[in-house]
Amino acid sequence: MFDGNMRRASYFVEVAKAGSKGAGKGKGAAAGKSATIRAPEKARARATPAPARRRPTQERSQRRFESIVTAAAESFARFGFADTTMEGIAARAGTSIGSVYQFFPNKRAVFREVARRCMELSRRSYAELLGPEPLAQPWDQLLARFIDGFVALHRDSVVMQAVWRNLELYGEYAEADQALLRELVEATAMLFAGWVPQLSDEPRRVVATMLVNTVAAMMLVLVREESFGRGEAIVAETKLMLRRYLAVYLGEPSGE
């Protein structure tokens, strides 16, 4: 059973490897395309916000499309959705307003593309953070790496900052986000199946749900408490809380 669940969890590792190989072969939207986790067709349809008006196919158009999305993410993150304009996005991207409308019918459509990229980044980062042998390493070390990895994304990724700053627009991508959370919960439950095979399916999913949603909630608290300088303390407390919670099921970490 351990080997079987190792293979299922390694599914995400193979996704990460594919993304790493693809990242060096293309530019812009093409980079890392193969890193998308292959969920069933119906699930993928639910997990993807409405597409842009037109997807570019030529390299020049792809570069312009990428510059527009990057400029939009920067504006949403810095100024907020309400104070970002299509004209401002065009100016920041160094292109014409007509080019922006060529790809996107309105500002909400641009935001949905930014949100889509944020979710793809989360999915790909989950896979990369698993590492080559996720079930062969101490669970507390893997937990710390996951938390630190997503905190780094919050700090460094402009698409993630754009989404977290504009949570009033959650309805624009709620269905896709909830589908992604279910996907990550299922993958996390597979890890528990390897660590504690005696734990039945439903309790594994409950524990995995608690873990994934606690980390997601921590990200929200980091946004809300950012101006108070409490980020490091919040991360440390989250790690402590989850270590004590998971120790009930996984045993005390080695060395303790």
- Residue-wise pLDDT tens digits, 56-113: 667 888 999 999 999 999 999 999 999 999 999 999 999 999 999 999 999 999 999 9
Which whole number is the average pLDDT over 111-124? 96
b (16+ CB within 10 A) / e for 126-136: bbbbbbeebbe
Helix, strand, coil percentages, rounded to 5, for the chain: 75, 0, 25
DSSP secondary structure, 73-119, as one string: HHHHHHH-STT--HHHHHHHHTS-HHHHHHH-SSHHHHHHHHHHHHH
Lookup result for tokens 């890193």: 35
DSSP assignment, residue 104? -
Instruction: Work out the mean pLDDT of the chain and round it to a whole number.
Output: 82
This prediction's pTM: 0.77
Higher pLDDT, 111 or 48: 111
**pLDDT grade, residue 15 (50/70/90)?**
very low
Higher pLDDT, 113 or 45: 113
Please name the residues in contact with 141: beta carbons below 8 A apart, sequence gap of 6 or more: 253
**pLDDT grade, residue 44 (50/70/90)?**
very low
Q: What is the pLDDT of residues 180-236, one digit of tens each?
A: 999 999 999 999 999 999 999 999 999 999 999 999 999 999 988 877 889 999 999
Per domain, the residue ranges of the chain are 2-49+114-250
pLDDT at 224: 86
Sign of the four-CA dihedral 57, 59, 61, 63: positive
| Token code pair at residue 19 | 């993304």
